[in-house]
A and B are shown apart, each in its own frame.
Chain A
Amino acid sequence: MAPATPRTKGNKAKATITAKSSTTAFSTSSSSSSPAIDHGASRFSSSSSTITTSTTTITNSSFYNTTATAGKAPKLNLSVFRYSNWLEENQLKKTAPWIAVAVAILIRFIVGLGPYSGYATPPRFGDYEAQRHWMELTIHRPIKEWYSDKSKWWDLDYPPLTAYVSWICGFIGDKLNPEWFAWETSRGFESPDAKIYMRATVLILEVIVYMSSIIVFTNLWFANKPWTRKHAALILILMQPGLILIDSGHFQYNAVMLGLVAWAVNCFLADQDVLGSVFFCLALAFKQMGLYFAPAVFAYLLGKSFRQGFFGCIWKLIKLGTTVILTLGLMFYPWMQSQEEILQVVHRIFPVFRGLYQDKVANVWCAVNVAIKLREMFDIQELVRFSTLATLLSFLPSVLHLIAKPTKKGLIYGLINSSLSFFLLSFQVHEKSILIPMLPITLLILDEPAVASLFVTLATFTMFPLLKQELLLLQYFVVLGFWIWLTKGTFSTASKLLQFLSVVNLLVITSLHVAEFTISPPARYPDIYAVANALWGAGGFTLFWAYFNYRQFTFVNTPGTGFRVTKSTKLA
């Protein structure tokens, strides 16, 4: 990699001439530009032809950088790279993923020592009690009654796969200690052992589904890149603070849904579209919030089908359609006997009666509501219709683009755009739902380093009111601080504007935190800090939505990500 830079500098004049003559040839094949490269490369190696083929993309990107920023290629200097280099030098490639996973588990477990949602807060407790109750419900009631149970305690409002997983967890837990999941008597049951068991189920499912999918993803996504990048990406994705805090702190099973989506993405990357749609349906059957990704997945598969000729397209659509129907049918099979039952399930899963949004959430509706009281002006039916239309409009450009150009990189951007649209504009959004767009953005951590780092920081910040309420302050500050430290090297690769925004973001976050702990809110506005948090988040996420839409439409024409890995010295 090192030879690339001096070579391009030395032959800058030649390179520009070649580029003027045919830019497309330069970017796709090395044949037209090989004289210029050979001339320089012969100084470094006798077998110049092999070097030519392997470094084409690098030359390409560094060429653009030399013209754009006068030879100053931004250098991504992350501490994870240095660590990965060290691992590579010590031939630890085989063990390294295990170390990363072990550290990730350790951190999650330590976060899990803290309280959970609804810890010791009767009468209703919180998400922890909901999950525990579903385990109780599923092991003690017949399957037909899971969605129609009238016990007026946390109703099962997640799709069937969650119920099945709850049944397995409840079954094993019941064998360990029947008291934890006893019917009716265990409502609100809390004990240290039960907590460890529940935390362990989250962690084990996360390792099996989510962490494995990330390992595979980094191997597929960085297939032709140095090993250090794969491993650095793995570490960064596993240390993403939002998921750690919500799953291991607040207590939820988001990692299962996100992991299934990541597995679907892995399959799409490997061109296993049928298997990918199975995984995606499983994700939907685990948590209905997976629908945030559905437009992008649908558009990608549709666009891919269109490119296979008339009959090929029909055949592919039949295959995919059958897969989806079969997978979802299998999941919902126990309730398919009568229309009444299936409607009851659907009614539970999509509770439109709950309102436009819950608490304070950093989306458009909540932000607009500060000025205009939407909920008083319109009735709920109108709001549902209106927000659905707005969501549809906001993901439409990205979806249309994806149908027209179903590339793999485009898929990731499409996932980001459609899930961000849903988060910002759809009906009934939780603040935790920001985890959903956070997944594909985190996957791009080395492709859009500064943006992804900024987004994750902001998104974790928007969950602060929730975490504060649950006394997870220490965990929040430590895990978020660790993330900022891990990704601080991305700062230098960013454009001036982005650097400015990152600094402003950190300043606002810090000052809001300091203010919240030192100045008590005025009596008229007791929620002022939560509202400020939501407004700042909503503004930021809207900008990100615009940015990622822009990127989706332009990344095809822009060169590679334009930074070098610091390993260049070693190769020289």
Chain B
Amino acid sequence: MGNRPLQKIINWSLMLNPGLLMVDNMHFQYNGFLYGIMIHSLVDAKQGKLLRSGILFAALLNFKHIYLYIAPSYFAFLLRAYCFENSGNSIRARSWISAFRPLRFITLGVSVIAVFAASLGPFIVMNQLPQLASRLFPFKRGLCHSYWAANFWALYSFADRVMIVLVSKTPIGQYFNLSLDTAALEATTRGLVGNTAFGVLPTVTAQHTLILTVLLQIPSLISVFRKPTFDRFIGSVALSAFASFLAGWHVHEKAILLCTVTMSVAIANLVGASPNSGSGAGAFSEQKNGAGLLTPRDVRSFMIVSLAGYIGLWPLFFTREETPIKVLITLIWFVVVGSGLDQCIPKQPKGPSVEAGPSSAKSMLRYYTTLERLYVFGCVPVQLYVNLIHEAIFGQEKLAFLPLMITSVYAAVGVVYGWLLYSAAYFSSNKALDKKKTR
């Protein structure tokens, strides 16, 4: 136990992150250094250098607007922790005004605006801003990216496909008065970027997704705003990323990295707070108010989301040469990090959820429920089918969308499940802490 092995695991988890390796070095993008900036910003927040954290984040936003996904958490945290006097307790309604620090607010606001001005200034001068915005926010593209990212809409589209088959092949449609939109039958899964249309289920518009995203983000934002500790902040960053990924409009499958990387940092934070973490120094160990411990639930949710998310990335790498590489790096990562984290769970968790499995005490999956184990092992036959058997049966052309759909839906189930589990862990740990405080 102790802090050192843990830091090592998180280092490995981030540096050998198969998602980053695959997306940056096989697919080709520049995520690595952007996540570096993000983690710098998060570490600054942890160390209380809030202004620098905010400026770094503003710069990050100007590098890649995908970080808007987690901007609400940053906004809530910085507003509350930096612009209000932070006494450590919730502020009563009356004293909001007296706690406000206008000077800090102006400093932060000016710095952020300055960053944006430096980046966008030339375009504003040349009157290119509307054109820029239309490139950055392509709402004309469809709900789902070329193949479905592992989110709600993958499940939704899948449900729609099932309904189409049911309605057209069986008489169920007549009982429920469902009609078929024939134009939609051609679209969606053919790898075309365009408007997604559904055959049976109601169409989803950009406004719907926006509202849903905000609704999903609000609970964690409130929790941060009520009590701006770093633990809550980092958890809410991960949850914001999830909300945007799961419910956003035209989400890329690569955006799962945002969820898994922020979750890694959140887990590192929890582990750093572990009471038996001995002498270890460093940013993640100086915990003041004895925050949450690493629970099996955190680990399970993290591992399942990561596994599902990375498998959801696999269809990006479709040549035969890439197949063994993507499989091996994901597998090695899962085993090494999974078993490493497993050993970091405190032996007698004090949290409310002690769910140690009765059997196979040595296995790294001992804390997992049967259903979760089924999911993890289920990846093997599913991916065997997707990568090998399907082509052997149907050839390359026929039913080409089927493997993609299977991968997306299977991954979406895992991501949604892991998100629910993580939300439960986040809010229950907050509650437990509040209770501890009041006693």
Contact = CB atoms under 8 A, between A and B. Distances in A.
Given A192-B321, A193-B320, A90 B332 contact: no
Contacts of B331: 102
A86 interface: yes
Interface in B290-322: 319-321
A196 B340 contact: no
A45 to B, nearest CB: 25
A172 interface: no
B5 A113 contact: no
Contacts of A86: 5, 8
Contacts of B339: 90, 92, 95
Nearest to A95: B335
A196 B362 contact: no
A507 interface: no
A103 B332 contact: yes
Interface in A62-104: 86, 89-92, 94-95, 98-99, 102-103
A167 interface: no
A196 B320 contact: yes
B320 A109 contact: no
Contact of A89 (B320, B329, B342, B343): B343
A105 B336 contact: no
Given A86-B8, A99-B336, A103-B332, A110 B325 contact: yes
Contacts of A113: 321
Interface string A7-20: 00000000000000
Contacts of B364: 95
Interface size on B, as a range, is 10 to 19
Contacts of A110: 325
A86 B7 CA distance: 12
Nearest to B343: A90
B107 to A, nearest CB: 45
Contacts of B335: 95, 98-99
A105 B362 CA distance: 26
A109 B324 contact: yes
A92 B329 CA distance: 18
Given A86-B5, A90-B339, A196-B320, A102 B332 contact: yes
Interface of A: 86, 89-92, 94-95, 98-99, 102-103, 105-106, 109-110, 113, 192-193, 196
B413 to A, nearest CB: 26
B421 to A, nearest CB: 23
Interface string B1-42: 000010010000000000000000000000000000000000
Contact of A102 (B319, B320, B328): B328
Contacts of B321: 113, 192, 196
A192 B320 contact: yes
Contacts of B336: 99
Contacts of B332: 99, 102-103, 106
22 contacts: A86-B8, A89-B5, A89-B343, A90-B5, A90-B340, A90-B342, A90-B343, A91-B362, A92-B339, A94-B362, A95-B335, A95-B339, A99-B332, A102-B328, A103-B332, A105-B324, A106-B325, A106-B328, A109-B328, A113-B321, A192-B320, A196-B320
A106 B320 contact: no
Contacts of A89: 5, 343
B222 to A, nearest CB: 38
B343 to A, nearest CB: 4
A102 B16 CA distance: 15
A431 B315 CA distance: 42
B328 A105 contact: yes
Nearest to A197: B320
A105 B323 CA distance: 13
B343 A91 contact: yes
B338 to A, nearest CB: 10
Contacts of B342: 90
A450 to B, nearest CB: 27
B37 to A, nearest CB: 28
Nearest to A103: B332
A193 B320 CA distance: 8
Contacts of A196: 320-321
A156 B335 CA distance: 43
B162 to A, nearest CB: 35
A566 to B, nearest CB: 15
Given A89-B343, A91-B343, A102-B331, 10 more contacts: A86-B8, A90-B5, A98-B335, A99-B332, A106-B324, A106-B325, A106-B332, A109-B328, A192-B319, A196-B321
Contacts of B324: 105-106, 109
Contacts of A192: 319-321
B367 to A, nearest CB: 14
A86 B2 CA distance: 12
B278 to A, nearest CB: 14
Contacts of B320: 192-193, 196
Contacts of A95: 335, 339, 364
B239 to A, nearest CB: 29
A488 B332 CA distance: 25
Nearest first, the 9 A-B pairs at minimum CB distance are: A90-B343, A106-B328, A109-B324, A102-B332, A196-B320, A92-B339, A102-B328, A95-B335, A90-B340
Nearest to A200: B324
Interface string B332-369: 10011001101100000000000000000010100000
A103 B328 CA distance: 8
A44 to B, nearest CB: 24
B373 to A, nearest CB: 16
A192 B342 CA distance: 41
Contacts of B319: 192
A138 to B, nearest CB: 25
A94 B325 CA distance: 23
